[in-house]
Amino acid sequence: MSGRTDGDALAEAMDVVRLRRLNRWQAEGLREDLADLYVESATVVPGGEYHNREAFLERLAADVQRPGFDMLVAETAALAGFVEGYPLPRDGSWWQGLAGPMPHDLEQLTASGHLFAISELAVHPHERDRGIAKHLQERLLTDNEASVAATLLDASNPAAVASFRTWGWQEIGEVRRPAGPPVLSLLILALGERSADRPDGLAHNDQTQRPE
C-alpha cells in the first residue's frame, strides 16, 4: 500500500498550475479579481491600496483596447498569477521619456511590429516560490513570437527589477513620464543571438531620435 489517501490526491490535483489565455472580453469580466491579485502582490504603503487598485484598473481598461493585446492567467485552486502585454505601437510613442541613447535595433523592431511589451505581471505572494512568474512571461513571449520584449518597472522597487534581471532581462535605461512613478527602469529581453560586441543582442545608435 502506498499510504496515499483520497485527500492527498485531491490536494495534489488542486496544486497543479494551469495556464489559461484570456481575450479582452474575458479579461474585462475578470477585472475585479485581477485587481485584487495585483494589490495583494504589490508592495504598497498603508493607505495606498486604493490608489494602486484604481490605477491598475485604468491601465487594464486601456490595454485591452490595444491591438494584439494578450493575457495569460495561472490558476491553481484559485487565481495565482497573470501576465499581459501587446506589440508596441509602430509610431514609437511608447519610448516617450527615454533618457540616454536608444538601441538602434529597437527602433527598427518597433517599426516592424516585432517588439512586444509586457505591461503587467503579478503572482500571489504564496505562489512566488514556484517559478510561476518566469513561466508566465516566457509562455506569453513564445506564443507571440516576440523577437525582443520590453517592460517598464518602478525604479523605486529594486526587488522587481532584480527578479527580471535573474530571468535574463537587461536594464538599459530610464524613462520619465508625467503620470505614474517618477522614474521607470527600462528592461529588455533579446530573444536573438548575443555576442561579445552586442551582449544585449542589440545595436546602439546615439543618433536615434525618440519622440518627445
Report the percentage of the chain scoring pLDDT > 90: 42
pLDDT > 50? residue 208: no
**Is residue 80 within 8 Å of residue 95, measured between CB atoms?**
no
β-pairing verdict for 18-22 and 98-99: unpaired
pLDDT > 90? residue 189: yes
50 pLDDT band (50/70/90 cuts)?
Answer: low
- pTM beyond 0.85: the answer is no
**Residues contacting residue 158 through CB under 8 Å, at least 6 positions apart:** none
140 pLDDT band (50/70/90 cuts)?
Answer: very high
Question: How many alpha carbons lie under 13 Å from residue 27 in its C-beta half-sphere?
Answer: 24
What pLDDT is attached to residue 49?
57
What pLDDT is attached to residue 168?
93
Q: What is the mean pLDDT of the segment spanning 143-165? A: 90
- Structurally, at CATH architecture level, domain 17-205 sits in 3-Layer(aba) Sandwich (3.40)
Q: Which of 177, 131, 124, 125 is nearest to 155 (CA)?
A: 177
| Structural domain boundaries in the chain | 17-205
